[in-house]
Amino acid sequence: MEAASLWAGVRFTARNGSPEALLTDAAGQGLHLYGISARPGGFCAHCAAWRYRRLVALARHRRVRLRVDKRKGLYFLLRPLLRRKGLWTGLAAWGLILLWLQGLIWAVDYSSLTTGQQARASAVLRSCGLQPGTVVIEELLRTGEYALLESGEFSWASLNFEKGRLAVEAAPARARPEIAAGTLHGLRAKCNGTVLRTNLASGTMLVVPGQTVEAGQGLIGTARSERDGTLIFAPAAGTVVAQLEWETNQSIPLAETLPQLTGANKANYRLFFAGHSAALSPSAPEGDGLYRTRHLQLEVFGLPLPCAVEETTYYGQQQKTLYRTEAQALTLARLQGLRALHDAFPDADILARREACTVQEETLHYNAVYTVAADICT
């Protein structure tokens, strides 16, 4: 079979007249026929569709009657579609829409950031209006970059947008050098204690290990004297770890009325596209409840779509009385005491603990004295 017939070919039958002369004329004119087979009073053959008209003219000259038996090829399969103007108009309109959609954000690339940085950067950009489905302009990109820098999470940020893809590149902010973080007013003790060890970064250390200090006493100064008596000033920076006792008191009721989940929940969805939003489901019932919101990227077979969906889930709650045993209340009191210790001394190393608890009027009263080693500079 001729390769051209894969696009458009016909099978025809020739009868009457002078079929042999027609074959001779076709060969002389370069009309290639193939699949020729004899038929009563003529023959059957195949040829490319665009050569059939010339073959008809030759057949008319030889008084041969041609009849098409079958049309085959990709052209004849597509011809019904080619005649549908509405289809091609729709495809052209869809092409124009795709060109316009290139100006919208289809996907945001955070590949250069860690998982935690991605979540925080996404929240910052969303507050500026940069999310899938947003029409991007240069001013909006600059606003997003400044917002990332002002968040304090990043020291450098760049937003690059091309053909629906927003690439977010940023460098995390690094802590200031320890000396630069010092103070020009000196460091003092925030509480009483016994110095265990010191670490001077800048300034003048005023205490030594084993020394007992009181609250407000100077620990690291900002000036030191040279041999000739010249004073040299430097920021006070460093740590002074001291052993100290820290006390906490906690009161935990054995019966407490708290909001409890009822098991009822409802999810609501809102679609964001090209600066507009539309609710996809009825609003959540009003009343006491817990709300959680997350943002989704719609995809079709792995292809992100230029729109964003906000999912807000409502969890029903109602006030119920919670009853605790004394053991549960004691565990909760210890946890709250440790949280308070962490708030006061984040780097504290617990050396010992003395505790006492009593139950009065359905309330557990907890007292704990911690012996800790912690940095007391302030």
Gap between the Cα atoms of 360 and 274, Å rounded: 62
β-strand 187-188 against 9-15: which pairing, if any? unpaired
Q: What's the confidence (pLDDT) of residue 181? A: 59
b/e map 303-322, b = 16+ CB within 10 Å: ebbbbbbbebebebbeeeee
- Quick check: 143 pLDDT over 60? yes
- Cα torsion through 108, 113, 116, 122, rounded to 10: -30
Cβ contact 367:249 at 8 Å: yes
Quick one: tokens of 124?
A: 């910052």
pLDDT(183) > 70: no
Contact 288, 303 (CB under 8 A): no
- The pLDDT of 150-161, averaged and rounded, is 92
Show the tokens assigned to 281.
């489901």
* Rounded Cα gap, residues 371 and 232, in angstroms: 38
Residue 303: pLDDT over 80: yes
Query: Per-residue confidence at 285, pLDDT binned at 50, 70, 90?
Result: low
For the chain, give every domain's residue range: 3-78, 107-172, 187-241, 249-255+323-375, 257-320
Q: Could you read off the pLDDT of 254-276 as tens digits, one per residue?
A: 999 999 988 888 999 999 998 88
Q: Which of 56-65, 297-306, 331-340 has the highest mean pLDDT?
A: 331-340
Q: Which CATH class is domain 3-78?
A: alpha beta
Q: What is the mean pLDDT of the chain?
A: 88
Q: What is the pLDDT of residues 205-235, one digit of tens each?
A: 999 999 999 999 999 998 776 777 677 888 8
Cβ contact 51:3 at 8 Å: no
% of the chain with per-residue pLDDT over 70? 94
Residue 35's region, left for phi above 0, alpha for psi from -120 to 50, else beta, is left
**Same-fold call for 3-78 versus 107-172:** no
Distance in angstroms (rounded) separating the CA atoms of residues 355 and 330: 11
Burial 6-43 (b: 16+ CB within 10 A, else e): eebbbebbbeebbbeebbebbeeeebebeeeeeeeebb
pLDDT at residue 3, as a whole number: 54
pLDDT at residue 375 greater than cutoff 70: yes
> Among 32-36, 174-178, 319-323, where is mean pLDDT lowest?
174-178
CATH tag, 107-172: 3.10.20.310
Determine the 3-state secondary structure of 49 from DSSP: helix
Contact 159, 167 (CB under 8 A): yes
* Residues whose CB falls within 8 Å of the CB of residue 357, separated by 6 or more in sequence, listed in order: 330, 333, 364, 365, 366, 367
pLDDT bracket for residue 182 (50, 70, 90): low
Mean pLDDT of 235-255: 95
